[in-house]
Structure 1
């Protein structure tokens, strides 16, 4: 056991994705490097990755994947 002081849990940014393949809505999280939002469909495991860009991105917090 260590004597480290626990740090407060910081939540990772999220976005909502509707997977048309299985008609499922899920929340996906920002990856650990902060370069994209990555996740998968909970039913068929279809992967989705939405890159985070400095200019020209979207202000939307909800997306549709197929």
Structure 2
């Protein structure tokens, strides 16, 4: 279990994603393994996965998908 895993009383971490394909904004959630944020466009179901890296990662909480 990783240090960032949510407890039953904490919500799962999210990041915001703007899907350019359908011009929609959604929050995607951290996967249960704590290795990535994964989700899909609610209109066309285009998938996105943003890996979580220890070094050299991004501090951004907002991303753009295609």
The two structures share one fold, judged by TM-score above 0.5 = yes
C-alpha deviation, 1:8, in angstroms: 5.2
TM-score by length of 1: 0.87
Runs of at least 4 residues off by over 6 Å: none
Alignment RMSD (CA, Å): 1.3
In the alignment, which residue of structure 2 is the partner of 1:9? 9
TM-score by length of 2: 0.87
Residues 1-66 of structure 1: pairs in structure 2 closer than 5 A = 9-66=9-66
Query: Which protein has the larger Cα radius of gyration, Structure 1 or Structure 2?
Result: 1
How many residues align structurally? 60
Instruction: Give ranges in structure 1 of 5+ residues lacking alignment.
Output: 1-6
SS of equivalent residue, structure 2 residue 15: strand
Instruction: Give ranges in structure 2 of 5+ residues lacking alignment.
Output: 1-6
